[in-house]
Each structure stands twice: as C-alpha cells, then as structure tokens.
Amino acid sequence: MKKQIMMILVMLTCTITISGVVSAADPYDIGVNVTQQAMANTNLGLNTSESNLLITTASTAHLNGQTTEDSVQGIVDTANTLPKNSQKITYGQGNLLVLNDPNGPLEFTFVSKSTNQALRAQKYTVDSTGTINFGDVVYILADPNMSQEAWNYAIQQLGNNAYDIMAIANLWSQGAPADLLATTYSTKTIGQGNMINYAIVKQFQQNYPVSTGKCNYIFSSAGGYNDEAALQGEFDFSYELYLLNGGDPNKVGIMQYDSDTKTGLFALLKMNDLRSTYGTVVSGTLSELLFNNWLYNNYLKANRLDQLYNVLMLKQIGESDYKYLWYDPITGSGHGLDEAYISKLGNFAGTFDQSKTVIPITDINTMNQIGKNSFTLASTDPAYLANLGYTGTLVEMQTTFMKDLVNGKIGVIATPYYQNFNGVSLVGLLDGINQDNVFNIHTLMTDTHPWNHAQGYLGILFFRLVNVDPINSANTVINKLMIKVEPDGFGGFTYTNGTSGPGYINMMPLMFAQKAPWNFLRVFMKVGCPRCLQEDLDAAKFGLGKYPLQQFEQYILMSIPVTAASSSEGNWGKNAAVRMGLFGVSPSLGTYLSSGGPMTTTNQPTQYPEYILIKWNYRTSTGIAALIQYDLSAMNVLMAADGYSNSGNWHLDKVYHDTGNNYLNAMFCVVREIPLTQDSYEALTAVGGDPVDFLLNYVVPVTPTPITPTPSTPGTSGNGFNTINGALANVWNSLESSSTSTNEITPRLPLEQNIPATTTTTNSSTASLPIATILGIIFLIIAAILVYLGKDIIVATFKGHKRPGK
C-alpha cells in the first residue's frame, strides 16, 4: 500500500511538471511570474533576441471580476532588466499590443525575433484560480519551408487564436507601422482587410481633411475587417459609421458633409482582393500568413495603393442626399449604401489622389529625446516646477518633485505611441518621458484627443496631487504643467510651459486621484472628452450589469445616434470607443453596428434611447435584444438631491461608489426586450431598416401550448419510461456541462474545434459531479424501472413466488 501511495505522488508530481502550471493570485505577481518564466526559457531567447513583442489581453481582461492592468506593470518592470532597449516590453515603442477582450481569458504571448529573423512564441494563460498554464515555445515565422507538422504543433500550443497571434507577430516582424498594428486592439487579428482599410482612410484624409462643420460618414458592411482605421483617430473623431448587415463587403462609402453649407461629397471605393494575384491562399493557414507579408511589402509599404482599392464614384451631394443616405426623417431611417441612387448624383468637381504614402516616418530617437527633454524640464527647471506648485530653492523643489514622483503623486498625460505628429510616428515619446521606468500604468496616462497632437504642436501634461479628499473630489487640489513642443522650422523643437488646456487635463488627473474604476479610466484614455463621455460610461455599465454573459454568449451592440448632446457628429467616435472597450465589440468583427439618426442640437428630449444590446448565443443562434433608454431629467434630480452641480464630481463621489447600481437603475431603463432567432436578428440589423422601430413593434411569436399526453397503461411507453428518459437527460446534461469549456468565436477556426492551448492535464469529464449525486441518479433510474415493471411482478420477484416470463 505504501508503495502504491508513493507511486501516485510521483505521478502527480510528474503531471504538474510536464503540464507547465504555476500558481499566482495578484495581477502584478502574475505579470512578474510569466515574464520571469519567459525570460528564463532559452528556447524563446528573450535575452538574446534582436527585439521582443508581447501580445496580451491584460488590462482589458478580468480575473474573477478583478481588473488586470497591474499584470502589465509587472511585465514592464521585470522586462526592464533585459540588456537591450528593443528587448524590453515598454509602453512607448509599440511592442506591447493589447487586445481588447473584457469577456475573455487573461493571456500573454511573448514573441522573440532573433538576429537571423526567426520568430518564436510562447503563450501563457491564467485561469480563474490564478493558475498559469503555458505551452511549448514554437516557431511561427511565415516560412514557405515550414512543415505541416511544425504548423500543426504551433497551432496546438498557441490555442484557439493561434493564427491571429501569428498574423500579428509576422507583420510586426516585417516592420508594419504602429498605427496599423494598433487596430488589432479591437480586431484581434490583421490581414488584407485591415491593410486596405488603413490605406483608404488615410488617403481620404489626405485628399479631403475634416475641418470645422465637416464630418465623415462611413458606409460599410459588418464584419469585413475594414472599419477600424478610422477608430484610431485618423479623422479626429469627426466621423460616424453606418454599419449594418447586408450589402457588398468589399465596398466602402465615405460621405463628407458640411452641416454649415449643406453640401459635400460621396466617394464609393472598392477593395480589391489580391489573393488571386498572389496564388493559392487558404484562410487561416500558412499560405495566408505568406500572403499578408507579400501584400504589405509589395503594395502597402511600396506605396502601390491604387492596386489595393479603386475609386468607383466621386459624387456631389446636397442636404436631401445626406438625409436619404444617412437619415430620412420621414421614414425614420437612412437607406445606407444605395449604389443606384448614388450613381445618379452629379460628379464631384475634384480628384482623388492615390499616390501619397500612408505609412508614417518612424524616428524613435527624436521622439525619445522629446520625451526626455520634457521630463527634464518638468523635474529640474524652476519655472516649470513653479507651475506644479513647488517653492523654495531649486534644490528643494527638485528634491520634493522626486519624492512626490516616488510616492505616486506625479503623473503625466501624453499622446499614445500609435498616433502621428506631422506625419511622424510618436513611437519613442512615452519611453523618453519614462526613461528610468519611474512612472507606471496608472501614472503614465495617454490620451488620443486631437488637441494634444493635431494642432501643430505636442501637448504633454504633468500633474501633481497636492491634496486628495477621497470623499469630496471638489476639495482635491491638483497642480498642472502643460508643456507645448513645437517645430522650430530648422529641424529642432521649442518648449514652452503653461497650465491651460481642454477639459480632459482636469478630469483625467481627478479620476486618477479619486481612484475611479480602471475600466472607466482605460476607455477615457481612448477618448479624452469628459463632456460626452460620462453618459456613455453610465449607459455601458447599466447594460453590463443588467445583462451579464452566460456560457456560449457574446455581446452585439447597435449604436443609435440621437438628438442628445453626447451623440452629436463630433462625438460618435468617442461613444464608440467607450462601448467597444467595455463590451468588447468591434465593427470589423460585426459585433458593433450602427444606423443613421437625427443629429439636430435643438429641442433635445430628456429621455432617449442609447443603444440596443443584443446578447447572442452562438451555439443555439438565439438571443435577446434590449433597448436601453436614458433619462437626463432623472440624473439632474439625483445630482441635485445629493447637493451637486458638477456631474464629474458627483460621479466620482457617489455614482462610482454605488455598488448596488441604484443611481444607474434610476437613470436608465430597458424600454423593451424581445427574443431573437436567426431570422429576427437579421431583420433587426438589416441595411435600410429602423432598428428602434423594429424592436418596439416586433410581434413576439406565440408558442403553442403543448398537448398533455394521455396517461399510459403498464406495458406501454408511459410514465416509467418518461422518468427514465428524464433522468438520462439530466445525467447527459451534467456530463456535457462539466466537460465542455467555453469556446469563443475565432476567425477561421471551426466553433467546435477544441485545440489545447497548453499541455496541462485535463480532468475527467465527470470530475465535477459528486459521487453521491451519480449514485443517487443511478438509484432513481433503477427505481423508475421497477415502477415500470409493475408492483405485482416486483413483489412476486422479491418473494420468489413468481419469475417474470413464466
């Protein structure tokens, strides 16, 4: 017996060792742990590589309801010990790619690029217990000589999004620009559609830049990976999407309309599928990776953009055309990309130049130096230190600044690395500011607002927490220093200091000081406008709380442009950033949809719909759709009752601390919820329809009442067999639910395909069923059989007087 116990212990030890399992609980410790393991793995070679990349869901994913941004900081801190800057994982050099997946697992994939250009990857996944599972290091370079066996093994070790990881890593290795790779935040992959859309959006902006009064309306089909580039701020948030199901997925329309002059233009563009030019391409295979690299190098990088897409029409539009296409007040909806209508419009007196390059210049050293200079001025120059409220001798001011920095009282807000300044990528700027890794993910804040990078200068804000009142945010004192960096006309830059700026420079530091929820802060950094943001944060939190996801479910969200101030033309993109971030939806994935709507700023109602939330079960192709409505007057009453006149302070002090969501439940409601089948879903989301009207007037099909069966007599298929069938069904359902893990919808992989992401040993499918439950079910089945056989026969059998069959 003792020998058997020892053998079991040895087997358990071997299983744990082979499976690659490590336990950790705190997000920061998890980040440290996975990085230490990755750095220690000589096969991965993070210490000897030319450069490294991290692809992760950290900071967007949750672990038992807890946010995971600190795991990113654990990685950055640990990787900071690597010998070369290009090997370190940092916030500013574009090698930290975050995939927005708030409803998915916490994952980290480390990628190393060796000096001979070889790419290797290793994936770490954290389960709900804090256990870290990891697979083997695999070779992922798009190499035509890669064997099928090596490909299959890489797919197995990297899990159900293996292809997408390899696609992103290979284009990163090819030198794809930061603003292109940043679109993977919401697409979670990259390929032909992303690259062509990137070229279209950037060249349209080059030809017809937005200005005061103008807005770009983009018409597209859902799910074509061709809608994300605009969401990165190329149009400075002056855009809206008409994105519903139906139409030609290869065509995109961009309508630029001037609300002052009531005139504009419409460009109809066709994306060219170059797979036939390349050769045989099978989606989700090595051939597609090779095709992606070929497309990037020979067309996007080589500036042969006229081969990527064609300009089919360039038309003049007026107010009636705008209403017909975007929103018709008579019908309550727009007609979308109606080619027959567009073709009859008059030609626009202009051209569309496709010769200009779209890939920005990358000058890491210059941007790094700008960041360093800005930090040096903020921390050492007496005039700059005075703006932060420091007094005394220069030495005393500098010393106090460094103490505050160490204690987390100094923060900075700058433009993220994936934005551009005068055609130059901002890769390197944040790392220059954070040259000694003195800031962290909470104090090194970013903001995509065009005010800080698209007005002819770079705005870099340093702030200092002087006094923080955790109860009343109005009493919190924050000093600010705004550094403006402008080209001097001779290849250099000038630096000036001030304290003024747009609203975000007040709200973002205050959110940090009052410890606002990370989920809100992270989407705020994608938007930067407090005036139009708060309502959308509240609306998203209400919907998430009202409709949590269950197994095999996903969110699909339909945006409804309305007459509210937060939904004016200039703010649609900001609303989208909030909703996409918190719900984990995306236009390119077909999970973020939008129709046209009235955009007047007069006679605004106090109650209006925010969005339609669809909770869809992709196993059964059924779901529900709920219309979420906002009551502005209710918010004003609640805020006044608490003695507040400032919505920002009220949210920080009251709403964010309301764990029962009482405030949100008073401000928002579900107007109507309807069940959905595949047919009703397609009708709700169809091009040219009015989704709100459809939902409000949808007639729910009546389910016929089942007829009660006549009780059976002994010897027929009656109650006894019904009991048996029910018991068997319960056993099957229990076994199925315990053995089936959540499998997310992954592009190019069959839904039922269950590829192990690690070598972790899987427990038996009945492991979660208590033995007493199993025995009880067996007993019930036996009892049901006995009941079926009949009382007399049973009694006779037990007494031995009679045997069945005689």
Q: What is the pLDDT of residues 717-758, one digit of tens each?
A: 333 333 323 333 343 343 333 333 333 223 333 222 333 333
Distances (CA, A) of 155 to 71, 105, 133, 167, 743: 25, 18, 16, 12, 15
**Residue 420 confidence (pLDDT) above 70:** yes
Residue 19: its H or E element: helix 2-19
**Cα–Cα distance, 198 to 300 (Å, whole number):** 9
pLDDT at 571: 64
- Give the number of C-alpha atoms closer than 13 A to the C-alpha of residue 277, restricted to the C-beta side: 12
Among the ranges given (12-26, 239-253, 338-352, 582-596), the one the predictor scored with the smallest mean pLDDT: 12-26
**Cα–Cα distance, 425 to 42 (Å, whole number):** 33
Strands 96-98 and 131-134, sheet pairing: unpaired
pLDDT at 699: 96
The residue-averaged pLDDT of 480-508 equals 89
DSSP annotation of 436:
T
**Cα–Cα distance, 283 to 191 (Å, whole number):** 10
Q: Please provide residue 335's backbone torsions phi and psi, each rounded to the nearest 5 degrees.
A: -95, -5
Burial 665-690 (b: 16+ CB within 10 A, else e): eebbeeeebbebeeebbeebbbbbbb
The residue-averaged pLDDT of 31-45 equals 98
- pLDDT-derived band at 215, boundaries 50, 70, 90: confident
The residue among 280 and 327 whose pLDDT is bigger is 280
Q: Could you write out the DSSP letters of every residue in 72-105?
A: HHHHHHHHTTSSSGGGS--SSSS-EEEP--TTS-
**Residue 793 confidence (pLDDT) above 80:** no
The residue-averaged pLDDT of 516-539 equals 84
Among the ranges given (13-17, 182-186, 458-462), the one the predictor scored with the smallest mean pLDDT: 13-17
pLDDT at 324: 92
**Residue 603 confidence (pLDDT) above 80:** no
The residue-averaged pLDDT of 548-555 equals 97
The residue among 25 and 760 whose pLDDT is bigger is 25
pLDDT at 532: 63
**Residue 567 confidence (pLDDT) above 70:** no
Q: Please provide residue 132's backbone torsions phi and psi, each rounded to the nearest 5 degrees.
A: -100, 115
Among the ranges given (3-12, 253-262, 326-335), the one the predictor scored with the smallest mean pLDDT: 3-12
- pLDDT-derived band at 276, boundaries 50, 70, 90: very high
In contact, 242 and 359? CB cutoff 8 Å: no
The residue-averaged pLDDT of 462-491 equals 96
Most confident range, picked from 18-22, 401-405, 418-422, 731-735: 401-405
**Cα–Cα distance, 453 to 460 (Å, whole number):** 9
The residue-averaged pLDDT of 168-176 equals 98
pLDDT at 687: 86
Residue 631: its H or E element: strand 622-631
In contact, 566 and 532? CB cutoff 8 Å: yes
- pLDDT-derived band at 805, boundaries 50, 70, 90: very low
Provide, rounded to the nearest whole percent, the portion of the chain with pLDDT above 70.
79
The residue among 575 and 439 whose pLDDT is bigger is 439
**Residue 10 confidence (pLDDT) above 80:** no
- Give the number of C-alpha atoms closer than 13 A to the C-alpha of residue 105, restricted to the C-beta side: 22
> In terms of Cα–Cα distance, which of 408, 390, 389 is closest to 398?
390
Q: 477: how many CB neighbours lie within 10 A of its CB? A: 12
Distances (CA, A) of 342 to 217, 255, 345, 353, 480: 14, 11, 5, 21, 51
Among the ranges given (251-265, 287-301, 529-543), the one the predictor scored with the smallest mean pLDDT: 529-543
**Residue 530 confidence (pLDDT) above 70:** no
pLDDT at 489: 93
The residue among 314 and 11 whose pLDDT is bigger is 314
pLDDT at 719: 35
Q: What is the pLDDT of residues 612-633, one digit of tens each?
A: 999 999 999 999 999 999 999 9
Q: What burial class does residue 35 get, using C-beta atoms within 10 Å of its C-beta: 0-12 exposed, 13-18 middle, 19+ buried?
A: buried
**Cα–Cα distance, 300 to 190 (Å, whole number):** 14
Structure tokens belonging to residue 755: 């590829």
**Residue 197 confidence (pLDDT) above 60:** yes
pLDDT at 665: 97
**Cα–Cα distance, 1 to 601 (Å, whole number):** 82
- pLDDT-derived band at 783, boundaries 50, 70, 90: very low
In contact, 601 and 564? CB cutoff 8 Å: no
**Cα–Cα distance, 552 to 549 (Å, whole number):** 8
In contact, 508 and 443? CB cutoff 8 Å: no
Residue 385: its H or E element: helix 382-387
The residue count of the chain comes to: 806
**Cα–Cα distance, 134 to 157 (Å, whole number):** 8
- Mean confidence (pLDDT) of the chain: 84
Helices (H), 211-305: 275-278, 286-295
**Cα–Cα distance, 177 to 197 (Å, whole number):** 14
pLDDT at 190: 95
- Give the number of C-alpha atoms closer than 13 A to the C-alpha of residue 778, restricted to the C-beta side: 6
The residue-averaged pLDDT of 665-680 equals 97
**Cα–Cα distance, 387 to 364 (Å, whole number):** 29
- pLDDT-derived band at 327, boundaries 50, 70, 90: confident
> In terms of Cα–Cα distance, which of 452, 456, 497 is closest to 479?
497
pLDDT at 226: 54
- pLDDT-derived band at 232, boundaries 50, 70, 90: low
Burial 130-152 (b: 16+ CB within 10 A, else e): bebbbbbbbbbbbbeebeeeebe
Q: What is the pLDDT of residues 61-78, one digit of tens each?
A: 999 999 999 999 999 999
- pLDDT-derived band at 238, boundaries 50, 70, 90: low
SS3 71: helix
**Residue 528 confidence (pLDDT) above 90:** no
pLDDT at 154: 98
- The neighbouring-strand residues paired with 464 are 410, 479
Structure tokens belonging to residue 781: 């089945």
